[in-house]
């Protein structure tokens, strides 16, 4: 699985919903990762790379992140939280979360 692939390489069912993306500027992994440059080092939740791969961008408010696709915002991360699982758990209808879950029903 490569959740960081460019928009040109994303499967067609995902592209069909591009107009529904809440933050289309961040469809590319590198843009999401760049948004996390100020992610607080003291936080014990998921690392920046995992958050970006799971579709999240940093809101610069505490540990709150938002999905570029569905707009889901999550905060209060715990040390062993899995960003993929939490994304899918709280937004089962997110096209991107479904794509990166590889068919797993967390």
- Say yes or no to pLDDT of 91 above 50: yes
Mean pLDDT over 84-98 rounds to: 90
Mean pLDDT over 59-84 rounds to: 94
Q: What is the CA radius of gyration of the chain?
A: 13
* Domain limits, the chain: 11-100
Phi, psi of 30 (to 5 degrees): -65, -35
Instruction: Give the single-character DSSP code of 67.
Output: E
**11-100: CATH superfamily:** Inhibitor Of Apoptosis Protein (2mihbC-IAP-1); Chain A (1.10.1170.10)
- pLDDT tens-digit series, residues 72-90: 999 999 989 999 999 999 9
Predicted local confidence at residue 102, as pLDDT: 66
The pTM assigned to this predicted structure is: 0.79
Please classify residue 57 by burial: count the beta carbons closer than 10 Å to its beta carbon, then call 0-12 exposed, 13-18 middle and 19+ buried: buried
Q: Which of 9-18, 35-44, 96-105 has the highest mean pLDDT?
A: 35-44
């Amino acid at each position: 699985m490569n959740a960081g692939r460019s928009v040109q390489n994303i499967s067609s069912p995902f592209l069909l919903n591009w107009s529904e993306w809440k933050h289309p500027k961040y469809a590319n992994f590198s843009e999401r990762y760049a948004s996390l440059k100020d992610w607080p080092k003291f936080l014990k939740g998921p690392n920046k790379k995992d958050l970006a791969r799971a579709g999240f961008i940093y809101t610069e408010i505490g540990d709150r992140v938002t999905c570029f696709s569905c707009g889901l915002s999550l905060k209060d991360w715990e040390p062993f939280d899995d960003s993929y699982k939490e994304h899918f758990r709280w937004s089962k209808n997110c096209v991107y979360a479904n794509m990166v879950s590889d068919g797993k029903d967390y």
